[in-house]
Chains A and B, each alone.
Chain A
Amino acid sequence: MSYEHILLVTDLLSDADIVAQKAKRIVENRPGSKLSVLHIVKDTMVGFGYELVPASSLYDEIDDERCQEARAKLAQFLERNQLNAATSEVTTAISSSEGIVSYCHKHDVDLLVIGRHKRTGIAAWISGATADNILPNVPCDSFVVRLDKPVSA
């Protein structure tokens, strides 16, 4: 079985380039495969009594500014890494893992490429890494690139 639709998920931080280069090499070695790039912007949540509701369901433009910023960053990211992506997308979702998993389902992704930062101490217990959260739910194979500690920007 060969991978035809490869999805690169990126947080657009500085060490995302390492992951991008690896994804690029995978795609280059597989003529006929297409690359998509996805960045998730987390929904702004609004407290509604006991419930949390994504603010975007109340006001349409609430996340626009953050999305536009992310789109500009994503464009830079693609250019810097010379990625030939068939599609590149910024979407909002209530969590990164939620957004990634539903994208994979919708677009028939064969291989997901994602970076995983090392987490130690309390951070590991409380939040864990996005890569760990998506594994149980992704409908496809995944290539997890090991990165060092989280970077700030």
Chain B
Amino acid sequence: MVRFGYELVPSSSLSGDVDSEKWQEARAKLAQFLARNELEAINSEVTAAISNSKGIINYCREKDVDLLIIGRHERHGIAAWLVGATADSILPNAPCDSLIVKLDQPVSE
């Protein structure tokens, strides 16, 4: 995000940059993830969005998704109050059914 006076603007909308190091890293990781889990995906995509929930919901709407599968980390204490889990913020807006897979506490990498 880039500050623009009082507003925050996503920097990708200014530079149109989708090939920087960050993007390539994410794509490589996604490829590894697919290979490791032997997933035969018709589509695999890395996109930018101002928040995870926003990006996921837009994707669901655009591509007519029927079922969304997402993990949900357990959150305790202040983290739960402040940010909550992505899965929680998606539910009210997801245009389709969702399968929420329970995970343990957030892991680092």
Is chain A's interface secondary structure helix, strand, loop, or mixed overall?
mixed
CA A22 – CA B97 in complex, angstroms? 10
Inter-chain CA distance A143–B97, complex, in Å, is 7
Instruction: Report yes or no: B97 in contact with A135, Cβ–Cβ below 8 A.
Output: no
Contact bitstring A114-153, B, C-beta under 8 A = 1, else 0: 0010110000100001011001101111111110000000
Contact A136 B85 (CB under 8 A): yes
Type the 1/0 row for B75-106, where 1 means its CB is closer than 8 Å to any CB of A. Answer: 10000100001011001101111111110000
Task: Please tell me which one of the listed residues A119, A139, A142, A143 contacts residue B92 in the complex, with CB atoms under 8 A apart.
Answer: A119
Chain B residues closer than 8 Å to A119, beta-carbon distance: 92
Query: Cβ of B72 < 8 Å from any Cβ of A?
Result: yes
Closest to B103 in A: A141
- Residues of A near B87 (CB, < 8 A) are 135
Alpha-carbon separation in the docked complex, A140 to B95 (Å): 23
Q: Is the CB–CB distance between B99 and A135 below 8 Å?
A: no
Please classify how large the interface on chain A is, using the bins under 10, 10 to 19, 20 to 34, 35 or more.
Answer: 10 to 19
Query: Are B91 and A140 closer than 8 Å at their CB atoms?
Result: no
Q: Known: A139-B102, A141-B102. Is A131-B91 also a contact (CB below 8 A)? A: yes
Contact A135 B80 (CB under 8 A): no
Determine the distance from Cα of A116 to Cα of B68 in the docked complex, in whole angstroms.
14
Q: Which residues of the other chain, A, contact B91 by a CB distance below 8 angstroms?
A: 116, 129, 131-132, 135, 144
* Chain A residue, CB-CB nearest to B96: A146
Q: Contacts of A140 on B, CB cut-off 8 Å?
A: 102
Seen from chain A, the residues whose Cβ lies within 8 Å of a Cβ on chain B are 22, 116, 118-119, 124, 129, 131-132, 135-136, 138-146
**CB-defined A-B contacts under 8 Å, sample of 9:** A119-B92, A124-B92, A129-B92, A131-B91, A132-B91, A138-B102, A140-B102, A141-B100, A142-B100
